[in-house]
């Protein structure tokens, strides 16, 4: 979407070829009007797909996912990051590697909030290696729900995440796809995505 590319071009800053700072509007200081616009864009794309809940991962997915859930009129379920595996059967979990932060965590959700048969839209702020998205997909499948689509605010198209999700057959919709970046500038993919 043009509004997202414009905002990244104006306020984003590539530290190098890998790290994009968007903390002035997306994940530390948040422009809530932009979040509303993001939510409306995802809702418009997946309107008519029978979505019954939106899911995301704490914490920077919450604002864009919340605005999407509001626009679609469905609940938001926030997957938590836990340090350790819980084995009492009340939660679904997936081990997720965060390459950006060089850590790993157990993506965790109560079984209560992902009942069988739900039609789920996953929303996240970034897609890079695709680890969080694949972890969420694993949990959604284990719960007996259908992952209808994935909405990504910023896709680093030069990293393997998008291809991994495509290979799994997931429907991915990114508001902005970055082809390459450096401190000198950010180059976008402009095809229909």
Binding residues vs a second copy (CB under 8 A): 23-24, 27-33, 35-36, 58-59, 62-63, 66-67, 69-70, 73, 75-78, 80, 109-110, 112-113
* Closest CB to a second copy among residues 23, 187: 23
CB of 112 to a second copy, least distance (A): 7
User: Which residues fall within 8 angstroms of residue 162, CB to CB, at 6 or more apart?
Assistant: 127, 130, 155, 172, 174, 177
* Closest CB to a second copy among residues 71, 172: 71
Helix 32-46, helix 62-72: angle, nearest 10:
50
User: Which residues fall within 8 angstroms of residue 3, CB to CB, at 6 or more apart?
Assistant: 34, 37, 41
- Where would I find the beta strands (DSSP E) of 85-145? 91-98, 103-110, 119-127
CB of 156 to a second copy, least distance (A): 22
* Closest CB to a second copy among residues 77, 129: 77
* Closest CB to a second copy among residues 47, 59: 59
How far apart are the C-alpha atoms of 8 and 22, rounded to whole Å?
A: 7
* Closest CB to a second copy among residues 82, 85: 82
CB 110 within 8 A of CB 91: yes
CB of 147 to a second copy, least distance (A): 18
**Is 168 strand, coil or helix?**
coil
CB of 92 to a second copy, least distance (A): 13
* Closest CB to a second copy among residues 66, 168: 66
CB of 47 to a second copy, least distance (A): 16
How far apart are the C-alpha atoms of 3 and 149, rounded to whole Å?
A: 21
CB of 66 to a second copy, least distance (A): 5
Token pair 């590539």 in the structure block, residue: 14
How far apart are the C-alpha atoms of 105 and 108, rounded to whole Å?
A: 9
């Amino acid at each position: 979407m043009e509004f997202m590319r414009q905002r990244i071009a104006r306020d984003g800053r590539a530290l190098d070829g890998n790290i994009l700072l968007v903390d002035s509007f997306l994940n530390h200081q948040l422009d809530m009007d932009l979040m509303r616009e993001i939510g409306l864009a995802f809702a418009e794309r997946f309107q008519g797909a029978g979505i019954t809940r939106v899911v995301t991962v704490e914490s920077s997915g919450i604002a864009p996912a919340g605005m999407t859930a509001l626009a679609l009129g469905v609940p938001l379920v926030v997957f938590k990051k836990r340090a350790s595996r819980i084995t009492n059967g009340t939660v679904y979990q997936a081990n997720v590697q965060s390459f950006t932060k060089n850590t790993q965590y157990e993506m965790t959700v109560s079984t209560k909030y992902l009942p069988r048969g739900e039609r789920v839209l996953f929303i996240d702020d970034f897609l890079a290696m695709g680890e969080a998205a694949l972890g969420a997909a694993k949990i959604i499948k284990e719960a007996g729900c259908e992952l209808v689509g994935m909405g990504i605010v910023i896709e680093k198209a030069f990293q393997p995440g998008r291809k991994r999700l495509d290979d799994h057959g997931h429907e991915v919709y990114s508001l902005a796809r970055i082809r390459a970046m450096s401190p000198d500038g950010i180059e976008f993919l402009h095809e229909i995505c």
